[in-house]
Amino acid sequence: MKIFPAIDIKDKKCVRLLKGNFDNQTTYERSPFDQALKYKDAGLLNLHMVDLDGALTGELVNLKIIDNIIKKLNISIEIGGGIRSIDKIQAYIDIGIDKVILGSAAIKDPDFLKQACETFKGKIALGLDAKKGMLAVSGWKEIINKRAEDYLNNVNGYGFSRVIYTDIDRDGTKTEPNIDETIRISEISSAPVVVSGGISSIKDIKKIKTLNNFKIEGVIVGKAIYDGDINLNDLQELENA
């Protein structure tokens, strides 16, 4: 199982949002590069990154920061946040991004998801962000009248290589992940699924690691690391166990 420590970037700083709310933001002193270096030094070589500025603007605001991390640290990164065109996907592929996460743009325009998967085989991850099972778009500000399971059934053959399922109500809360809902997604998905939202302790991750009968590829861990609830060495040992 892969463990993806999270780095969300806004105004060139590491931040964490509570339930995706930009008005409820915690900013941390360590820079995105230094945070990534800390993860690498602990032996955690798969990162989940979100350009929150990009999510708000639709531009690759923090491309240079991410490029610097890849060049100097040589780690694997999946990146999301405001990626709404083939050109922007290409820009990330060009700097060595492992997976480009398509969320709102893919949900609003499934044909865009299909084109991206065909153009960048093996490089596209589908981000499904849901509140009470209903999909959210536009930086989680808009809940649309479509269930995550229904959307996934419609696009399942498009060729994405990973699904990241986030329960918005748990994101940044450290109140345990929504494992039951994630399992339902994994039973539908043609691609392996990553658990996101609500990780509170190493116990949560150990529980996810036992789900051998489901296509659970990994777990994203954010606020619990920043707040010191989870030790990076324990994460690394669990990933390699």
Q: What pLDDT is attached to residue 169? A: 86
What is the mean pLDDT, run by run of 10 residues, along the chain of 241 residues?
96 88 86 97 97 92 97 97 96 98 96 98 97 84 88 97 93 86 95 95 94 90 93 93 81
In the chain the domains, ranked by start, together with CATH numbers, are 2-240 (3.20.20.70)
User: Catalytic annotation on 67?
Assistant: no
Annotated catalytic residue, options 8, 51, 167, 204: 8
Q: What pLDDT is attached to residue 214? A: 83
Q: What pLDDT is attached to residue 23? A: 81
Three-state SS sequence of the chain = CEEEEEEEEECCEEEEEECCEEEEEEEECCCHHHHHHHHHHCCCCEEEEEEHHHHHHCCCCCHHHHHHHHHHHCCEEEEECCCCCHHHHHHHHHCCCCEEEECHHHHHCHHHHHHHHHHCCCCEEEEEEEECCEEEECCCCEEEEEEHHHHHHHHCCCCCCEEEEEEHHHCCCCCCCCHHHHHHHHHHCCCCEEEECCCCCHHHHHHHHCCCCCCEEEEEECHHHHCCCCCHHHHHHHHHC
User: Catalytic annotation on 169?
Assistant: no
Q: What pLDDT is attached to residue 151? A: 97
Annotated catalytic residue, options 51, 53, 98, 129: 129
